[in-house]
Amino acid sequence: MLRGLGVVLALNLAFATVAEAREPPSRPAVDAPELAALGPFKVGVRTISLVDAAQPDVLAFDPATDKAPARDRMLKVDLWYPANVPAGAQRETYSGSLPAEPPAPPTKFTIPGIAVRDAEPAGGHYPLVILSHGYSNETIVLSWLTENLASKGYVVAAIRHKDPPITERDKFVEPLLRRPLDIAFVAHQLQAMPSRESGIDASRVVLIGYSMGGYGVLTAAGGEPLTDVVQFAKLLAAKRAGDKIRVEVLFQIQRGAYIQLREDAVDLGIK
C-alpha cells in the first residue's frame, strides 16, 4: 500500500515539475506555421507610466450639473523591444489576475516568458506596435504575441487600460469612451520620445487590438462606432444611474473627444 502511495506521489511531483517548466507561449510549437518562428532578436521588457491630464471621468458624471469631473488618467504601458541579453539572464515570469464570476475572487495566473526585465536595448530604430487588450483583461495575456513581435524587430507597447471589472456591465460606457483615446494618447506620447531613447521609428505605427481592443484600434484609426454599440452603452448607462441621468451629455463628451481624435489620427503614422 505504501509503495503504491509512493508511486502516486512521485507521479504527482513529476506532473508538477512539468507544469512549472512549461514553455513560454511566444516560443511556437514544432507544428506551428513557418512565420510563427521567433525572430533573430533577444527580447527585453520594461514598464513606463504616462499621465493623460484632465480627462473626463464619465463614471463620476453628475446629473445635477450635466458634467463629468476632469481627472488625470494614469496609464501603465508594458514595452517589449529588441534587446541585448547576456547569457544566463533570468527570464520574466508574468503574473496577473482576471475577474471571476461573483462571488468568486479574481483568478490568479502566471505565464513564463522569454523577455528579460529592463534589458539593454539592442540599438537601432524599430516600428511601433500599439497593442490594446480585451475588456477587463491584462497585457501579459498577450505576451505570446508581444514577445514574438519584439524578437522580429518591433517595439510593442501594450496599454494597461484599467477597465472596470467585466462583471459590472453597467460601467461599459467608460471603456467605450476611453479605449480609442488611450490608444491615440499613448501613440502620440511614444512618437514624441527621442528616438535614441525609445528605439522607435515614429513614422511607422501599427495598431493591434483584441476584442474591446479591436474596437479601440479601429476607432482610433478613424472608424465610426456602430450605432448599435452606442445605443447599447446608453441603455447600460441609464440603468446604472437611473432615470435622472442625462445620457446624451455623456455622448456629447464622447463625440467631442472623437472629433479631436479623428483630427489627431492623421498624425499617428498608421500605414
pLDDT tens digit string along 16-54?
A: 333 344 899 999 999 999 999 999 999 999 999 999 999
pLDDT tens digits for range 75-107? 999 999 999 999 999 999 999 999 998 899 999
How are beta strands 116-117 and 42-56 bridged, if at all?
parallel
How are beta strands 107-112 and 93-98 bridged, if at all?
antiparallel
Residue (of 154, 155, 161, 157) closest to 211 by Cα position? 161
**Omega before 86 within 30 of 0, i.e. cis:** no
Quote the cell numbers at residue 235. 441603455
The band of 11, judged by pLDDT with boundaries at 50, 70 and 90, is very low
Report whether 220 contacts 184 (CB < 8 A): yes
Model confidence, pTM: 0.82
pLDDT tens digits for range 153-200? 999 999 999 999 888 877 877 888 888 889 999 999 999 998 888 899
Asked whether the predicted pLDDT for residue 241 surpasses 70, the reply is no
